[in-house]
Structure 1
């Protein structure tokens, strides 16, 4: 084929990008494209923006970095704004492309958009080929079909670890042939309907978007500091840059792939030795896989009040006052408040914090969990549709928790994980 389009989505990287690699091998010329989907900047039925300013800023940085990396290979990134089903076909006609390559989607809205693009391209006699690029284990390599994947993570993990292998990451291309492409032009946050929000100086880490920054963070956490060797012991801490890997934002935007991280863990283990901590990071990547495969299995169910449970649960109403107190960190719990203020001021919260504020929302405030999930969707830099809604459903007792309902004793959690009140003092001063 002469010309193909690579439609980048949440796979904003050059390394281990099968979509890009496939397109290069099948084409004479490549047109790399990103579409700022209007739907991603709308307000949801819950009253929150789908994308808040922290994540939008991270996205714009990631696109700038991708363009820089593409230019180094002889290409550029073409950025358009609008509906993908309108904008992608326009580019197909402009560049006379015979095929569009893109990352495969599993969540409902993303999948629907993919189908609309496919239909529009079909009318132009242009094919859309999608490639699975988001998980550690490829769906085809799992020891069960998607519909038969165990709903319990432990069973999924044990069987997968025993019977499946992780594929090697794809090498970065050395060169990309492209037609003459325009210089990158990105909209401002204001043009996206957002206000620029300065990240609080107390932030555990200042996330900067892009593959370059993702690789820099990996090098720092693995090889410069060897923090990976103590990851399991420190991952539940709440203050500081290196208590956890902090890869989540780059993983969510696809600036780095789980398979690439896995390959680097193996290099690290051969250099510094394997232990429980080096395994535990793989374990966490497996959780990410699990929720993605669950979304493929259950489609829209993760967005329902009753989640993936068959029995209808009592609908909980929304209390605007309690929701506002939770968002603004003015509840009766100083531990919850500190976590919620951190989220509001930085777009990030520790894993331990997330579990506690979600449990508090569902159990103490007794509100419909989907409002909490929707607020996280707006606020989090590292928002990932499957991990966010999957984890919220889990904590609300309507997801994959085999125990049915998980309740956190907030005071005990605060005393266990913030014994010296270091975290609370930092955010409640």
Structure 2
């Protein structure tokens, strides 16, 4: 075991907002006697994207605030103070480094362009002797254990899944430890309110399929509810295409997206469920979906910024349109399809949409309306509580025909409505809403 250093380490939280099963946090605790942490509500995350949408809208912002509140409490129990800022990381981290004589910074490794650029500017602002260490910690199958190089990630998901399941191991969950308490530490920072971040406060919509709060504690509560209290996990494969209610699917994605819970934690809890109760297609299918999540992350590692380009990873040329009037019809739920409209109204009112809905509205946007798929992806980025850059752009490329779907399918939204909303319950629920 490495001998602990006497200096104070800084853990810079980004999309790993948990204390349980957190490689970065635990490495800092293992290597240093004392640790502080920080989170920055980076102003860039609330600016307009090039397509005119705010990069983070009110739904995910509220969920994020709740997450940071929970993280602060959970870190405090480990003798770690969380410093929070609405300044840029470049400015604020330098302040912390200077104030606490920090020599080591720990963070989760990111690989998409905006995160890389932010880290570069932070590095440039600090003395050269500051050691910044980052680790991959978003995956179910860690890159070191995958036995597939990034350049050899298969183009078809099934090939990836079969190789991963056959040749790779999933790491155990990391146990928590506490560093030494820092005497007389003063933390005057406050977690910002919605209003301070430019939004009006709001209550969750009464019909929302995701009425849950942000934070690791709520993620763990949801897991135990879905797995052990109700045993809904055992019916997941049959119900996952549902459209109304809270329990047709696990709803883990918002907590996974900001790292409030790890994919490993969910995996090993599935295994515990299988051991204590039963194993069936549904228990496997939740793991199957976690592998899909991993796959889109590995695709983005392999293809880098191509996932944001109009031709996608296939570099295909389509005659995309960017008609603002047509885009607004899609956003406002005023297309020819009642099923698409109901899903889009649900998104606008709640920040949530089912997986089935997302596939249909995205396909309709790109294949029926022939609109530039990146505009739709940017709108999802703004609105979704569970926005994850890799899954969002991976799925949009997939349905637009520029990604990992070898069949380049088009969803027939009318047939999909008949199959998944045969009695029209979902459409009636949301089409009665008046949009302002």
TM-score by length of 2: 0.95
The counterpart of 1:422, out of the listed 400, 410, 425, is: 425
Shift of 1:119: 3.1
Q: Output aligned runs, 1:89-128, within 5 Å.
A: 89-121=94-126, 123-128=127-132
Distance apart, 1:86 and its partner CA: 2.3
**Kept after mapping to 2: 8 A contact 1:54/1:197:** no
In the TM superposition, residue 117 of structure 1 has moved relative to its aligned partner by 2.0
Q: What is the match of residue 30 of structure 2?
A: 25
Q: 1:143 to 1:418 in 2, by over 3 A?
A: same
Task: Give the secondary-structure state (helix, strand or coil) at the position aligned to 1:408.
Answer: coil
Match of 2:71 in 1: 66
- Residue 200 (structure 1) aligns with: 205
Contact 1:76/1:184 (<8 A) preserved: no
Contact kept? 1:75, 1:181, Cα under 8 Å: no
Q: CA deviation at 1:407?
A: 0.1
The CA deviation at 1:192 is: 1.5
Q: Which structure 2 residues correspond to residues 341-360 of structure 1 after superposition, within 5 A? A: 341-360=345-364
**Which structure 1 residue ranges, 5 or more long, are not aligned?**
none
**Structure 1 length normalisation: TM-score?**
0.97
Q: What is the CA RMSD across the aligned residues, in angstroms?
A: 1.3
State the distance in 1 between where 2:401 and 2:116 align: 26
- Identify if the C-alpha distance between structure 1 residues 321 and 157 changes in structure 2 by more than 3 Å, giving closer, same or farther: same
Secondary structure at the counterpart of residue 191 of structure 1: helix
1:43 match? 48
* 1:400 counterpart residue number: 404
SS of match in other structure, 2:313: coil
CA contact (8 A) 1:106 1:292 kept: no
Distance in 2 between residues matched to 1:367 and 1:176, nearest whole Å: 56
Query: Deviations along 1:232-264, whole A, 9 cap, x unmatched?
Result: 000001111100000000000111000011111
SS of residue paired to 2:12 = strand
- Residue by residue over 1:98-147, the C-alpha shift from the partner in whole angstroms, topping out at 9 and shown as x without a partner, is 100000002121122122223333x3410110011111010111121111
Q: Deviations over 1:146-166 (max 9, x none)?
A: 111112111000001000000
Tell whether 2:145 aligns with 1:138: no
Deviation at 1:362, TM superposition (A): 0.4
- 2:318 aligns with one of 310, 314, 323: 314
Instruction: Output the CA distance in 2 between the equivalents of 1:166 and 1:177.
Output: 33
Contact 2:140–2:170 (8 Å) recurs in 1: yes
Does 321-330 or 194-203 show the bigger shift?
194-203
Assess, with a 3 A threshold, how the Cα gap between structure 1 residues 237 and 120 changes in structure 2: closer, same or farther. Answer: same
Deviations 1:325-379 (A, max 9, x none): 1111111111011100110000000000000000000011110000000000000
Q: Write the distance in 2 (CA, Å) between the matches of 1:93 and 1:175.
A: 21
1:85 matched to 2:90? The reply is yes
**1:164 aligned to 159, 162, 168, which one?**
168
Q: Which residue does the alignment assign to 1:338?
A: 342
What is the alpha-carbon distance in structure 2 between the residues aligned to residue 113 and residue 151 of structure 1? 30
Match of 2:243 in 1: 238
Q: Does 1:302 align with 2:296?
A: no
Question: Does residue 365 of structure 1 match 2:369?
Answer: yes
Q: Distance in 2 between matches of 1:265 and 1:45?
A: 41
The CA distance in 2 between the partners of 1:141 and 1:178, in whole Å, is 36
Change (3 A) 1:237 1:300: same
Query: In the alignment, what sits opposite 2:62?
Result: 57
Aligned equivalents of 2:128, 2:152: Cα separation in 1: 37
